[in-house]
Chains A and B, each alone.
Chain A
Amino acid sequence: MPQPADFNIDHLASLARLALTAEEKARFSAQISDVLAYIAQLKEVDVSGVEPTAHAFPLFNVWAEDMPQPGLPVDVALRNAPAQRDHMIVVPKVVE
């Protein structure tokens, strides 16, 4: 099954912030084009006048009182951080 001409895995990997190897690109492109060919069956369904469903049950804004609640202590919240210093997360430099 040929993959759709518009399926650009380099562009998608870039959007998804995901570094892929050449082998992964080739394999995923082939596998995903099988899935896309299968998914194409939805073009046959008449959806005129049909409302989309985002959730199975209607959901509306849920409001809560704007009250302070106990949260995680800083050291607990940071326990899983890959790099930290002085109660802050260390990251590579992001400003010039």
Chain B
Amino acid sequence: MTMSDELFFQPVAGLAAQLAEKKISSVELMQAVLARTQAVEPRVQAFNSYDGAGALVQAQASDARRAAGQTRGPLDGIPVGIKDVISVTGQPLTASSKILANFVSPYDATVTRKLKDAGAICWGRLNLDEFAMGSSTENSAFKSTCNPWDLACVPGGSSGGSAAALAAGEAIATLGSDTGGSIRQPAALCGVVGLKPTYGLVSRYGLIAFASSLDQIGPFTRTVEDAAIMLGTIAGHDTNDSTSFKTEIPDYRAELAKRRGPWKLGIAKEYFGAGLDPEVGAAVQAAIDYYKKLGCEIREISLPHTQHAVAVYYIIATAECSSNLARYDGIRYGHRAKGATDIVDLYFKSRAEGFGPEVKRRIILGTYVLSSGYYDAYYLRAQKVRTLIRQDFLNAYKEVDAILTPTSPTPAFKKGEKAADPLSMYLSDIYTIGVNLAGLPGISVPCGFSSGGLPIGLQIIGQPFKEADLLAIAGAYERGHDWHLKHPKL
């Protein structure tokens, strides 16, 4: 048996087939994932918490359904890890922040309910940068997750735990959230598939809000087919999220099997400029050449406002975060400081004790850009440039079906390398942020390794609500390569 035959390194689709044929049971699968987690978690540090005993009870229930002929589809009995910003009833929900260290979810997020309805075992809480603010998972108040390919490196962020757990075989699929690249960048840095859906396709109900006009939940998976399975399960309109869209949800998995292109694919010079690591550039160029070989037409396009995306993002995201995080005041839930002299003092002290440095920094910056006298100069201007960034993409889509870019300018960086310099950390999201500002879907698929053995990701940016095409384009690349079959040695 080779490493890739291990149950915990197999994709959802393959495991679902073996479960259906009764070659394995869900309990066996859960036990394999638990044993793997116990073996590698001390080195990877992906989980904030997990409930192994509860997961085995759910696995037994899944096996019982299967025996009774009442199985619920490909995710029935599959262990799925959840980023610790998404509610699961009765489980801790910390956002990797001291301010929510003792919070227990009173209800399920819509995505959680949908996964449970599909039979998935939502069993572990995955580490992140505090309140999803960061690109390395070093901003967690609890632990710094390691990149399974090189434990001295970061897994990316903010969904670093979700990416690292999957890459390390501690889950079969995971959920993350993506506000400026927080699914795609860690997926690239850990060598897995990460999908950020169109804004509004997946309900945000039960997701801890960071920047509400940008946040979107999406899956991390081993394969594009698994991403299609996960997306099909979690997508859809929800009356509990007034920004969720009423749109037809296609059978993404069936469409992936059908759609073969060729497609017109755009290459924007703005995504291949200074700061791009040459090995990343070469790997992405090789992917572009592969699409050419498949008969796709490659067109040069321009996204001229790309250079401003990071600046726009750090105005809009911090403004929204300063507003969203006002709710953490030590009154109804969360950390309450001791020894406050009055209620206002209680707010000041509870927030000072509960929030970490990056969150405080962003609250201050967000407060500044929204404050009286500066709103027009910063926030309103940023919203206007956001319009220009979105128009760049919509103009490009008059000519092409999708856009190919690197996901991250570099492979995983060393822990500590950017921790003291927020601006340099912010710039590591330069290729992913525009997608959030424009509300588009984007996917990162593994497309090679650096000479140091670190994964490299190809980002494919699609058109709004055309995830079926996006997945098909990603699948066409994956079918011709085996990067996604490689696993880290732990």
Give the B-binding residues of A (Cβ under 8 A).
6-7, 9, 12-13, 15-20, 24, 27-28, 31-32, 34-36, 38-39, 41-43, 45, 47, 50-57, 59, 62, 64, 72, 76-77, 79-83, 89, 91-94
Interface size on B, residues (CB 8 A): 73
Can you identify 6 A-B contacts, CB atoms within 8 angstroms?
A16-B351, A55-B243, A64-B239, A80-B333, A89-B331, A91-B331
B213 at interface, CB cutoff 8 A: yes
Contacts of B388 in A (CB 8 A): 45, 47, 50
Alpha-carbon gap, A38 to B387, bound state (A): 20
Whether the Cβ atoms of B385 and A18 lie closer than 8 Å is: no
Q: Considering the complex, give the chain B residue whose CB is closest to the CB of A73.
A: B106
Chain B binding surface, main DSSP class: helix
B308 at interface, CB cutoff 8 A: yes
Which one of B74-82, B227-235, B309-317 is at the interface? B309-317
Chain A binding surface, main DSSP class: loop
Q: Considering the complex, give the chain B residue whose CB is closest to the CB of A94.
A: B343
Chain A nearest CB from B488 CB (Å) reads 34
Q: Considering the complex, give the chain A residue whose CB is closest to the CB of B360.
A: A18
B122 at interface, CB cutoff 8 A: no
Chain A nearest CB from B242 CB (Å) reads 4
Q: Considering the complex, give the chain B residue whose CB is closest to the CB of A17.
A: B347
Given contacts A57-B439, A72-B106, A79-B106, A35 and B199 within 8 Å (CB-CB): no
Alpha-carbon gap, A90 to B35, bound state (A): 44
Whether the Cβ atoms of A81 and B368 lie closer than 8 Å is: no
Whether the Cβ atoms of A82 and B423 lie closer than 8 Å is: no
| Residue in A7, A35, A53 whose beta carbon sits within 8 Å of that of B387 in the complex | A53
Alpha-carbon gap, A17 to B347, bound state (A): 6
Whether the Cβ atoms of A38 and B335 lie closer than 8 Å is: no
Whether the Cβ atoms of B332 and A81 lie closer than 8 Å is: yes
Which one of B53-61, B252-260, B374-382 is at the interface? B374-382
Alpha-carbon gap, A62 to B246, bound state (A): 11
Given contacts A35-B314, A52-B383, A20 and B332 within 8 Å (CB-CB): no
